[in-house]
Structure 1
Amino acid sequence: MLQPPTEGKFQTLEIIWKHAHNVARAQGYALSTLRSNMTHNQIVIGCYRSGTPKPNKNSSKIVTSRKIDCPFRLFEIKYSKKTTWTPKVKSPEHRNDETENIMEHPAFRKLNEKETSQIAQMSESLLLPRKIKAQLCSQRESERPVILQDIYNKVKKIKKDKLQGRWPIYALIDTLKEENFVWSSARDSERHLTSLFFTHPLVIKILHGFPCVILMDCTYKPNKYKMPLFHIVGFSSTNKTFSGAFCLMKNETEPLYTWELNKYIERVLSNTNIVPPPDIVINRDLDLKSSLKKLFIDSKTGCQGDYQSVEKERKKEAKKIFEEIGEDLFQRLMAEITPILHHFQDFLTGKFPFDQIPKSKEDDQYYEDPL
């Protein structure tokens, strides 16, 4: 038989809870507050497996419960003329057996406020739950266990609290308004959302600097509504990619692609006088290709599998310019320019080894770091 906490007199509720939890942990069970009435200074503590499971309203979903109607009860009473709390065991029997693995009891795995704040920050940084768990385990000084399900449950609760009772799509639109995003939406005759286009003003400035090559593709299953996410990606001069614009769409059809590209032209290209991209790389989506032919007449469209086709075309055009000066001079010039371009890329990314620049032969001076 599992032994209940000893009766006696305690100065505060915290001392009672600490004593009761220590006894319960040693016996292999956990306690929880069943009900409380602080007006009359009464608290009822029971086994965490007390009560009966709620009926399953959705018969197609399998629901499990830890509750087995355990009768154990511990009453904590503070009499009006006394300053101490007196616990009374009313029903010492348990229906559950002692468990050897303490990780089965959620009461001993509770996350404190600091850990909850860390989980919120790491989840916003898109850190995987297993890495969040490893981070928490490395910081904990005690032997309290952490399981992945606790991380999943806490992240789910954080997301639910962040919505504040709103639908996710309305929460997204509110965020776009608060962060001053450039956005537009479209609805059908039944007021259902069909498209949501958005981009950031800072990204528009980056597109203004690198408008030459644009990649367009869809990402699937990014949300609970299974709406494809149309992604417009730009390329910088150092061959780095950046997100240019996003658009949630109901389905991949030519009318929706046309609406999205029109918004891209209207909200991004027209307002800032950005030159339409000369080269656009897409997948083999015929609807998207048809919309691009109507709206981007002067742009070249290539398939996503042919990333090098754009570079080859540019090399051919450059080669035609140097045909008049001869093949040998062209190859020699390209051989001299290529290392310079690589050093320039390293310079922009902070990888240029300034400390390894050789000493000048003409004079006894070193080249100085321009930064």
Structure 2
Amino acid sequence: MELCSMVYYRDFTCVSMEQKQGDAPTEGNNVGTECVMDYSDQFTTYSIFNGRGALLKWARAQGKMNNIVIAIKMFDYGGEGKRRPQVILACERSGNYKSCKSSETTDIRSDANSDMKKCARDIGTKKCGCSFLLIGVNIGDGDDRKLEVICGVHNHPISKYLQGHSFVGRLSKEENALLVDMSKSLMKPKDILITLKVRDATNVSTMKTIYNARIRNRTKEFAGRTQMQQFLNKLSEHNYIPWHMTSGDIVTNLFWTHHINIEILHAFSHVLIMDCTYKTNRYCFPLLQIVGVTSTNMTFSVAYVYMNAEKEDNYTWALTALRSLLDDNCLPRVIVTDREWHINKGVLANCKKLFGTLKQWKQFNEDLNTLVGSDTKKEYWRCLRQIESKFSEFQKALEYRHDNWLNPFKDRFVAAWIDTCMHLGSTTSNRLEIDGVDALSCGYAIRRTHQLPCAHEITEYRDRGVPIPLDVVHSHLRKLDLINIGNNSYGTTSPGRSQLQRFNMWYEQQDNEKKRQVHMTLKELMNPGSTALAEPKEKLKTKGRP
């Protein structure tokens, strides 16, 4: 073995300390003509490694601890006779740069007289003929290997740190898999980098490494598909039900839901809550979220809709798409929206400027909020008369409030009217703002809004010494399971044989252009990733809520 080691030492290191003519210069690299540091002790080990991978992992880990980058210089798979497989490791700065004559005069520059001439290109290299060399030798008949130090000397100063090194900063397979999972969880790149460094104290990756890895993974995942093709392909892959509205080939509205959400909605369909979220995409489309409420007051998602505008036509289209997936016996009884926000915004824009002082405006706004919260119609009319008398000098503000909101829509946001129906306490689109039920102070309101026994009924049952019957509790609140809802045939039933026959007859009567369009539509249905639909144009960032 010593003879073999000497042979490799002679082949790879005996002339490394002398610069040959024609090699790239090493000026500016702080490279001396004699050995600088000896790291033989750091790489000397008597361990036996099970396979080439384990040997490489240990050698590179030792190199990272000492700020040395270990590279594979040569593989020798062995051969006939007594030659055994070997792997030769070296410093990344081993060897010498081989210049290319054609690359030395590729730059074209102009002098003061505008005469074009070829100049030598300034070239730098990390190669400096470092003589550091390790060899991993196969021992025995298996794949066991041992590591030998042929030359532990470096002829250049060792780096003080490896932060940002292109090779050492690479992510391992495990780190890249973790990065993909964290990216899918919408974690920020800086948080991903912190997590990787906490898991591995020797990690020298930078933010650029994280960004590049995310781009590579995203490009690999898209596989040449556009944004819209990738989105529809993912919906189909995870069994979502999509609907879309287009203007030409541009998607203007996009609705999607999952069959599990629709099945849960069949069980708890009494109340739906709708609200828009903003600044969720580069197209500045509002994201309409539709959720329901279970018998245990838990929220579940029903559907999501991207809309190009918050207009009546957009909402009508979204609800029509949802209606097509529901049966007649599971339609919602109550739909909660955020109309009150629009009321406050409209009053603020049109009425605040009519008041002389800020104190008057605040008092007017507080009285209006008291009016909206009136528990009974009698209290509502009493509060309304007080406001009209108190602010009689601000007739324009009163007229705007009454003509635009109170008279046409008071039955949709004033408590005296909305509490006459069962809404399970969902009076706002923000679930965090929904108050709990106070059974001792609600009067008859809890009977109307929750279909639960109120305080008077509970007292009567207690005095009689009988339990509260289940039939006095609404069926929505009594349901605690999802049994048999999976067998419900939501939406339109599958086409029968007669409908398919009608389609075949209609298809045969069409011209070639119409048949071509049908073929394209069927292709998109079977393979959403091949759709010709395009995403809308990106919009400039806007401030605040649109």
Instruction: Please say if residues 203 and 243 of structure 1, whose CA atoms lie closer than 8 Å, have aligned partners that are also in contact.
Output: yes
Instruction: Please say if residues 446 and 454 of structure 2, whose CA atoms lie closer than 8 Å, have aligned partners that are also in contact.
Output: no
Scaled by the length of structure 2, what TM-score is found?
0.40
Task: Map 1:8-47; keep pairs closer than 5 Å.
Answer: 11-12=74-75, 19-21=90-92, 23=93
Instruction: Please say if residues 182 and 198 of structure 1, whose CA atoms lie closer than 8 Å, have aligned partners that are also in contact.
Output: yes
Distance, in Å, in 2 between the alignment partners of 1:43 and 1:331 is: 96
* Cα offsets for 1:1-29 (capped at 9, x unmatched): 325699xxx6449977x5333x59xxxxx
Change (3 A) 1:182 1:310: farther
Shift of 1:131: 4.5
Residue 103 in structure 1 maps to residue 163 in structure 2: yes
Residue 168 in structure 1 maps to residue 227 in structure 2: yes
Aligned to 2:310: 252
Aligned to 2:125: 72
Shift of 1:132: 3.2
Residue 205 in structure 1 maps to residue 243 in structure 2: no
The alignment partner of 2:331 has SS state of coil
Gaps of 5+ in 1: 25-30, 32-41, 47-51, 53-67, 77-96, 349-371
Task: Map 1:230-245; keep pairs closer than 5 Å.
Answer: 230-245=288-303
Aligned to 1:79: none
Q: Which amino acid aligns with 1:258?
A: T
Residue 220 in structure 1 maps to residue 278 in structure 2: yes
Aligned to 2:429: 304
Instruction: Please say if residues 213 and 235 of structure 1, whose CA atoms lie closer than 8 Å, have aligned partners that are also in contact.
Output: yes
1:179 to 238, 249, 254: 238
Aligned to 1:120: 180
Change (3 A) 1:164 1:315: same
Kindly tell me the number of residue pairs found equivalent between the two proteins.
267
* Cα offsets for 1:116-149 (capped at 9, x unmatched): 1221123223444444334423443x62323344
Change (3 A) 1:164 1:323: closer
Change (3 A) 1:144 1:325: closer
Scaled by the length of structure 1, what TM-score is found?
0.56
Distance, in Å, in 2 between the alignment partners of 1:331 and 1:179 is: 52
Shift of 1:207: 0.9
Change (3 A) 1:225 1:113: same
Shift of 1:299: 9.2
Shift of 1:283: 5.0
Shift of 1:71: 2.4
Instruction: Please say if residues 336 and 429 of structure 2, whose CA atoms lie closer than 8 Å, have aligned partners that are also in contact.
Output: no
Instruction: Please say if residues 2 and 98 of structure 1, whose CA atoms lie closer than 8 Å, have aligned partners that are also in contact.
Output: no
The alignment partner of 2:266 has SS state of helix
Change (3 A) 1:284 1:172: farther
Distance, in Å, in 2 between the alignment partners of 1:319 and 1:107 is: 64
Aligned to 2:495: none
RMSD: 4.9
Shift of 1:231: 0.7
Task: Map 1:296-335; keep pairs closer than 5 Å.
Answer: 302-304=427-429, 307-308=434-435, 315-317=446-448, 328-329=459-460
Larger Rg: 2
Distance, in Å, in 1 between the alignment partners of 2:298 and 2:91 is: 59
Task: Map 1:352-367; keep pairs closer than 5 Å.
Answer: none
Higher relative contact order (CA 8 A, sep 6+): 2
The alignment partner of 1:194 has SS state of strand
Shift of 1:198: 0.6
Change (3 A) 1:225 1:308: same
Shift of 1:197: 0.6
Distance, in Å, in 2 between the alignment partners of 1:173 and 1:148 is: 31
Distance, in Å, in 2 between the alignment partners of 1:44 and 1:237 is: 76
Shift of 1:174: 1.5
Q: Which amino acid aligns with 2:274?
A: M
Distance, in Å, in 2 between the alignment partners of 1:146 and 1:332 is: 73
Shift of 1:245: 0.3
Distance, in Å, in 1 between the alignment partners of 2:87 and 2:249 is: 58
Distance, in Å, in 1 between the alignment partners of 2:266 and 2:296 is: 16
Gaps of 5+ in 2: 1-27, 34-72, 77-85, 101-105, 107-120, 130-156, 344-404, 413-420, 481-546
Instruction: Please say if residues 228 and 248 of structure 1, whose CA atoms lie closer than 8 Å, have aligned partners that are also in contact.
Output: yes
Instruction: Please say if residues 187 and 193 of structure 1, whose CA atoms lie closer than 8 Å, have aligned partners that are also in contact.
Output: yes
Instruction: Please say if residues 282 and 302 of structure 1, whose CA atoms lie closer than 8 Å, have aligned partners that are also in contact.
Output: no
Instruction: Please say if residues 271 and 335 of structure 2, whose CA atoms lie closer than 8 Å, have aligned partners that are also in contact.
Output: yes
